[in-house]
Amino acid sequence: MPLMTLIPEGQTPGRRTRLLAEAMGNAKPAFMNGTLTGPELSLYTKLSSLQCWDAALYCAWSAKGVNCPSVTMDNKNYNVTGNNNYNRIFGATPRARSVNTLHDLMTLPEGCFVGFLSNLGVMRHVMIHTSNGHGAGNKSDCVFTDGNTGGWELLDMAHFFGKDSNHNGNSHTTMIYMPVTGQVI
């Protein structure tokens, strides 16, 4: 499937981001068995090589979900967000958009950024919400037992409130989100 069909014009920025994040997560089996080719291979490889927050940002940027002058095709680190520097994506008061329940998670806007913020104010992880509590991201093992240390993948983020609630500091972590609306980051 050509890459441009994964990010159709005429959709909202959040929908485009969701569709691309999901398509790249669904591409993982083809990557693993060596049948992923062309632009899809390039994008999957790029997403899988970046730190989680840079991968989520690159996905949203690639889908034209956000505009970020710091992002280019060649950069490996965008210096837009990190452990202690996440306001450009999540705003000045990130806890104002907390996801406190499974119901909150299930009703998140499609394609939004989802962050995992420690009680000490350190960003632990960032993903893209696809739909119905599922998310796409890279290096998700820090929050999810089903996650891997590398490789863009789709995961059920509902496990944050269930089987993974005590995994690796999750009991001291707040899930937050920021809609993708075409904003400049």
pLDDT at 1: 43
In a domain, 159, yes or no: yes
Specify the amino acid at residue 151. Answer: G
Both tokens assigned to 70? 């710091």
Domain that holds residue 74: 3-178
Q: Which of 42, 20, 21 is nearest to 126 (CA)?
A: 21
Q: Which residues of 149-178 are buried (b: 16+ CB within 10 A; e: fewer)?
A: eebbbbbbbbbbbeebeebeebeebbbbbb
> Does the global pTM surpass 0.85?
yes
Q: Looking at the domain assignment, is residue 184 inside a domain?
A: no
- Write out the E strands in the chain: 98-99, 113-118, 123-129, 134-137, 153-156, 173-178
Mean pLDDT, contiguous 10-residue spans, the chain (185 residues): 61 95 95 94 94 94 91 73 84 86 97 96 96 96 94 97 94 96 92
Q: How many residues does the chain have?
A: 185
> How many domains are there within the chain?
1
Residue 9 lies in a domain: yes
What are the two backbone dihedrals, phi and then psi, of residue 154, each rounded to the nearest 5 degrees? -100, 135
DSSP-derived secondary structure letter, 109: P
Q: Do the beta carbons of residue 158 and residue 139 sit within 8 Å?
A: no
Q: Examine residue 185 and state whether it is found in any structural domain, yes or no.
A: no
Which phi and psi angles does 140 have, rounded to 5°? -90, 0
Angle subtended at Cα 112 by Cα 107 and Cα 115, rounded to the nearest 5 degrees = 95
Tell me what pLDDT residue 80 has: 76
